[in-house]
Amino acid sequence: MAFNEDQSRIRKGHSPDNFALLRRFAMNMLSLDTSKESTRKKRKRAAWDENYLLNCLAAII
């Protein structure tokens, strides 16, 4: 539960499934990074450092 899914208020229609897919995508993107940081640190670093985020996105392509 890395994204506080229990606190999410997304409950109608296809929204829960769509956001679950986006969360999985984000976690997989961060897991491709081979640094020894924890996933939590990688998430924070991607939020704070735009270059790191772009490098993570470029690793997918």
pLDDT for 19: 84
Q: How many CB atoms lie within 10 A of CB 27?
A: 14
Host domain of residue 59: 36-61
Predicted pLDDT of residue 5:
63
What would the pLDDT profile of 12-52 be if each residue is shown by its tens digit?
888 888 888 988 888 888 888 888 889 889 989 999 999 99
In a domain? residue 24: no
Question: 16 lies in a domain?
Answer: no
How many domains are contained in the chain?
1
Query: How far is C-alpha 61 from the geometric centre of its chain's CA atoms?
Result: 16
The answer to whether position 19 is within a domain reads no
Question: What is this structure's pTM?
Answer: 0.68
38, 30 contact by CB (below 8 A): no
pLDDT value at position 34? 85
pLDDT category of residue 1 using cuts at 50, 70 and 90: low
What tokens does 9 get? 């208020």
- Give the C-alpha separation, 22 to 25, whole Å: 5
